[in-house]
C-alpha cells in the first residue's frame, strides 16, 4: 500500500483499524528540536468530537518509541505507536465482504485480491488519520518556533458558511483563537447553525459534508519549485491522504473562472517596511509553485460520512448477491469538525518538508 510520503522529510503510516496498533514513522527531522508532549496531546485531542461536532477530551497520546529523547529530537526516525486496547486476534479470515455505498470495501477487495483486513475498514479506516495528525503536530511545533503558523477552520457544512479568513491579513492571533474553540469556526453564530444541522442529520440517520479552509502565515518568499515540485503539489498530495476528501483549491480557486484577468491578477506593491506584497491574494500565496510571501490559503472539500445511522443497500462480494447492511447509528453524522486538525497537519508536514533546507532555518 502507498502509505509513504517522501519530501525532504518522510512520513510512513502503518497499521490497521482492528489490529494491535497503528502508528507513524517520521524521517529526517532536524535534530535538537524541542517537542512539547502536552501540546502534542492537545493538538491530537482536537480530532475527537461529540455528535454535534463539539471537541471532547480524552485523546489517546501515542507512545513515542524512538527519535525523541528528553523532549528533543535525536536525528533518528521518530516512531509513534497508538495501541488498540480492544484488539482481539482474528485468524479466521471469514468476515463477510459486504460492499457498502460510499466506502472502499469493493475497491479495496479487488485491489488486494480479497486479502485485505475488513474489520473496521482495516488500513483504509478513517482511524488512520490519527498517526498523520501526530506527525503534523510535531512538524507544526518546529515551524511555530520559526514564526510559521498553520491554522484551519470549518468554512462550511451543508451550505452553511463561516466567515472566511482574510486572505491578505490572516495572522497568528486569528489562527490561535479559532484553534482554541470547541467548535472551530470564526463566527460562533454560524457555528451554532452548523451544529443544529448536524444534530438534525443524525436524528434522520443521515450525514453531512463540508469544506475546511486552511492558512499558512509568515512563509518566506521563494519556497517550492515549478512544475511537479510546487508547494501546492505537496500540500495536495497530503490532503488527499485524508479520508473523504473530494477536492482542493488555492486562493480564488474555481471562482477564478468567473473573473476577468484584470480582476484576478494580484497587483504588487512595496509596504512601509520595504516588503513586496500583493493588494489581493487570489493566487493563494503561491505563484508558479513558489511562495510569494503572502499567506498560503487553500480549501479542501469533504464528502458526507458514508457510514450512516440507517440500513443501506449493499452487495456481498463473495456471493454477488444483493443484501442490506445495518450501519452504526452511533457513527458521527459529520466528520468535518474532527478533520480540521488533519488538514492543519497535512499543511504543516508539506511546509516543513520544504523549509528544512531553507537558509538559516
Direct distance between the N- and C-terminal alpha carbons of the chain, in angstroms, rounded to an integer: 33
pLDDT in the model for residue 83: 87
Per-residue pLDDT, 108? 72
pLDDT of residue 250: 98
User: What residue has cell string 482536537?
Assistant: 46
CATH code of 4-355, in short, is 3.60.150.10
Q: Determine whether 112 is exposed, middle or buried from the number of CB atoms within 10 Å of its CB (0-12, 13-18, 19+).
A: middle
Give the pLDDT score at 311: 74
For the full predicted model, state whether its pTM sits above 0.85. Answer: yes
pLDDT at 9: 93
What confidence score (pLDDT) does residue 87 get? 64
Note the pLDDT of residue 313. Answer: 75
Q: Cell for 214?
A: 486552511
Beta strands in the chain (DSSP E): 4-6, 10-15, 21-27, 63-66, 68-69, 72-73, 78-83, 98-99, 149-157, 160-161, 210-217, 245-250, 268-270, 276-278, 286-287, 290-291, 296-302, 312-316, 321-325
Can you name the residues that pair with 245 across neighbouring β-strands?
A: 302
The C-alpha angle with vertex 117 and arms to 112 and 120, in degrees rounded to 5, equals 130
pLDDT tens digit at each of 361 positions of the chain: 478 898 889 999 998 877 788 899 999 999 999 999 999 999 988 887 777 777 766 667 889 999 999 999 999 999 999 887 776 666 555 666 777 777 777 777 777 777 766 565 556 667 788 899 999 999 999 999 999 999 999 999 999 999 999 999 999 999 999 999 999 999 999 999 999 999 999 988 899 999 999 999 999 999 999 999 999 999 999 999 999 999 999 999 999 999 999 999 999 999 998 889 999 999 999 999 999 999 999 999 999 988 877 777 777 777 777 777 765 544 688 999 999 999 999 999 999 999 998 888 8
Per-domain boundaries in the chain: 4-355
User: CB-based contacts of 251: which residues, under 8 Å, 6+ apart?
Assistant: 167, 281, 282, 283, 284, 285, 286, 297, 298
How many beta carbons lie within 10 A of that of residue 52, not counting itself? 18
Amino acid at each position: 500500500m502507498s502509505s509513504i510520503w517522501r519530501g525532504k522529510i518522510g512520513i510512513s503510516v502503518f497499521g490497521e483499524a482492528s489490529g494491535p496498533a497503528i502508528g507513524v514513522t517520521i524521517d529526517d527531522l532536524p535534530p535538537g528540536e524541542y517537542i512539547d508532549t502536552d501540546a502534542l496531546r492537545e493538538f491530537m485531542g482536537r480530532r475527537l468530537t461529540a455528535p454535534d461536532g463539539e471537541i471532547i477530551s480524552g485523546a489517546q497520546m501515542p507512545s513515542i518509541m524512538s527519535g525523541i529523547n528528553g523532549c528533543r529530537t535525536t536525528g533518528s526516525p521518530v516512531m509513534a505507536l497508538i495501541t488498540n486496547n480492544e484488539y482481539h486476534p482474528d485468524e479466521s479470515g471469514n468476515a463477510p465482504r459486504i460492499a457498502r455505498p460510499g466506502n472502499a470495501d469493493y475497491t479495496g477487495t479487488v485491489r488486494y485480491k480479497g486479502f485485505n483486513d475488513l474489520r473496521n475498514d482495516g488500513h483504509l479506516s478513517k482511524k488512520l488519520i490519527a498517526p498523520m495528525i501526530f506527525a503534523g503536530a510535531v512538524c507544526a511545533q518546529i515551524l511555530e518556533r520559526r514564526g510559521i503558523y498553520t491554522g484551519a477552520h470549518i468554512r462550511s457544512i451543508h451550505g452553511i458558511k463561516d466567515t472566511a479568513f482574510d486572505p491578505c491579513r490572516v495572522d497568528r492571533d486569528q489562527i490561535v483563537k479559532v484553534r482554541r474553540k470547541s467548535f472551530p469556526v470564526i463566527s460562533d453564530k454560524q457555528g451554532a447553525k452548523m451544529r443544529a444541522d448536524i444534530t438534525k442529520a443524525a436524528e434522520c440517520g443521515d450525514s453531512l459534508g463540508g469544506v475546511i479552509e486552511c492558512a499558512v502565515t509568515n512563509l518566506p518568499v521563494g519556497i517550492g519549485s515549478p512544475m511537479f515540485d510546487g508547494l501546492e503539489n505537496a500540500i495536495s498530495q497530503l490532503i488527499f491522504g485524508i479520508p473523504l476528501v473530494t477536492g482542493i483549491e488555492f486562493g480564488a480557486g474555481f471562482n477564478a473562472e468567473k473573473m476577468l484577468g484584470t480582476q484576478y491578477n494580484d497587483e504588487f506593491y512595496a509596504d512601509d517596511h520595504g516588503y513586496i506584497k500583493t493588494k489581493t491574494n487570489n493566487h493563494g500565496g503561491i505563484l508558479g509553485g513558489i511562495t510569494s510571501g503572502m499567506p498560503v490559503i487553500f480549501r479542501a472539500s469533504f464528502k458526507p460520512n458514508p457510514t450512516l445511522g440507517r440500513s443501506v443497500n449493499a452487495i456481498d462480494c463473495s456471493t454477488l448477491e444483493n443484501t442490506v447492511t445495518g450501519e452504526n447509528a452511533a457513527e458521527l453524522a459529520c466528520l468535518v469538525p474532527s478533520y480540521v486538525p488533519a488538514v492543519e497537519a497535512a499543511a504543516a508536514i508539506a511546509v516543513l518538508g520544504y523549509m528544512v533546507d531553507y537558509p538559516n532555518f
